[in-house]
Amino acid sequence: MSDYTKLTSFGPVPEGFIWGTATAAHQIEGGNTNTDWWRFEHTEGTGTKESSGDACDSFNRWREDLQLVKDMGLDAYRFSIEWARIEPADGEFSTVALDHYKEIMETARGMGLKNVVTFHHFTTPLWLADMGGWTNPVIVEKFARYCDVAVKHFGEFIDVACTINEPNMVAWIGYDLGAFPPGHKGDMDSFRTATKNFAAAHRAARPVLKAGPGDFPVGITVAISDTRFHLDGDRNGPETSPFDLPEDFPGAEHKWLMVDAYLEAAEGDDFVGVQTYSTHHVGPDGQQLPHPEGQRVTQMGWPFSPAAIGNTVRYAAAKSGLPVIVTENGVAATDDADRVEYISVALTALREAMNDGVDVRGYFYWSLLDNFEWASGFAPFFGLTKVDLKTFARSPKPSSAYYASLVASSR
Ligand code: GAL
């Protein structure tokens, strides 16, 4: 912990502003076996720490999860529906899976909660991964077809739709860094192709979702780190903000693949989802520079920098010209007091951005639960709620009460 001024009131928010918390199917449901991620977790040498296994058993315990959201006095629950369950084989749709998600949405509505539904959150059905996944352009029409079937089944219960979650991370980490499926390293051609297909899939899905039933905003959610560029390669040297970069700097393509490609693809959307965790200092090629000694980091090894969100909402709003929803923001911390500090400083920065005129329509803390953090397994604790991985008992942490108090202060 450090000295900081604890925010005690967020103050009034514009009408329609949505407070919530987020999860994703593969990270909480358990037994999500028909996906590229499950196979990756069970393949030796991929670097994934452990299997997602039963995760938080939310496939069965989703009612408890909704109750936790309700107990905090939030407006909405952001969660994802699992493509591999809904379409277990090419063109074969499961009514049972569709009904399962419909029941969650109907129940949430009955409790007075809004459903913020993500259609793709990192996992891809195995049958499609075997066809080349996001590098095969056929995925564009497959994704649109799946969205069409899903929205026809439960569109009337959707309040906000997020087409694809952080395609930039899936493409970068999957094809360049190799730590997500399919585990390619330095495969720049695939990185570029996947980016193109992700953008096209988002654009193809939008009119399908807009056709309803239901009438709800549609957008894409993008991982945007608060990035400081050191064009001379010196971590202690001058910083250039992403607004002021020369057009032809060496990392221009990387920056485009990482962020701007999606802010462009979002043109004509109802909002852009901003997901920010940290500040990163990068060299002229866009690659991260080593942290200075004594850098305070989170459990993920990322700089502890809750104010980052203030800069990223400004960037995304200015670049896209769209309203922003903070669809994810949070910290992995063993000490929950660090989470309280993170939320306090992050929401202070968000308030400032809103006071400066940035059109922010909602905020979602990541995550409702301690859950399966992809290649890092269950060790990083992002949750407002602790989950016992043997009994699946949920225990809200003090940070959940603190978050709830700030939400209440905005009413
Ligand atoms: C995002 C992702 C989430 C969650 C979070 C924390 O990239 O959408 O699934 O894992 O990061 O790392």
Average pLDDT over residues 140-149: 99
Residue written as token pair 């860094």: 177
**For residue 1, what pLDDT is reported?**
62
Residue nearest to atom 4 of ligand 1 (CA): 373
As to burial, measured by CB atoms within 10 angstroms (0-12 exposed, 13-18 middle, 19+ buried), residue 332 is buried
Average pLDDT over residues 47-60: 98
Assigned domain for 1 exists: no
Residue written as token pair 């990223």: 312
| pLDDT bracket for residue 2 (50, 70, 90) | confident
pLDDT digits (tens, 9 = 90+) for 210-223: 999 999 999 999 99
With 90 as the cut, is the pLDDT of residue 251 above it? Answer: yes
Atom of ligand 1 nearest to the CA of 374: 10
Tell which residue, 41, 32, 42, has the closest CA to residue 81: 32
pLDDT digits (tens, 9 = 90+) for 66-85: 999 999 999 999 999 999 99
Q: What percentage of the chain carries pLDDT values higher than 90?
A: 99
Average pLDDT over residues 329-348: 98
C-beta 24 within 6 A of ligand 1: yes
**What is the Å distance from ligand 1's center to 203 Cα?**
23
Question: Three-state SS for 201?
Answer: helix
Mutate to test the pocket of ligand 1, among 26, 329, 374 (most ligand atoms within 8 A of CB): 374
Q: Are 271 and 323 in contact (CB under 8 A)?
A: yes
**What is the Å distance from ligand 1's center to 367 Cα?**
9
Residue nearest to atom 10 of ligand 1 (CA): 373
| ∠ CA 352-358-363, rounded to 5° | 75
Assigned domain for 390 exists: yes
**For residue 374, what pLDDT is reported?**
98
SS3 content of the chain, % helix, strand, coil (to 5): 40, 15, 40
Assigned domain for 284 exists: yes
Structural domain total, the chain: 1
Q: What are the beta bridge partners of residue 394? A: 387
Q: Which amino acid is at 7?
A: L
Q: Are 32 and 344 in contact (CB under 8 A)?
A: no
With 90 as the cut, is the pLDDT of residue 308 above it? Answer: yes
Assigned domain for 172 exists: yes
**For residue 3, what pLDDT is reported?**
87
Q: Are 24 and 37 in contact (CB under 8 A)?
A: no
Q: How many residues does the chain have?
A: 411
Whole-angstrom Cα distance, residue 370 to residue 23?
10
Whole-angstrom Cα distance, residue 323 to residue 313?
9
**What is the Å distance from ligand 1's center to 248 Cα?**
31
C-beta 124 within 6 A of ligand 1: no
Assigned domain for 9 exists: no
Assigned domain for 222 exists: yes
Assigned domain for 57 exists: yes
Per the prediction, the chain carries an average pLDDT of 98
CATH classification of the domain holding 185: 3.20.20.80
Domain that includes residue 104, residue range: 18-409
Q: Are 347 and 406 in contact (CB under 8 A)?
A: yes
Whole-angstrom Cα distance, residue 78 to residue 53?
22
Atom of ligand 1 nearest to the CA of 330: 6
Mutate to test the pocket of ligand 1, among 120, 166, 221 (most ligand atoms within 8 A of CB): 166
pLDDT digits (tens, 9 = 90+) for 172-219: 999 999 999 999 999 999 999 999 999 999 999 999 999 999 999 999
Instruction: Report residue 152 CA to chain centroid gap.
Output: 24
Assigned domain for 43 exists: yes
Average pLDDT over residues 2-12: 94
C-beta 368 within 6 A of ligand 1: no
C-beta 223 within 6 A of ligand 1: yes
**For residue 339, what pLDDT is reported?**
98
Average pLDDT over residues 114-131: 99
pLDDT digits (tens, 9 = 90+) for 30-46: 999 999 999 999 999 99
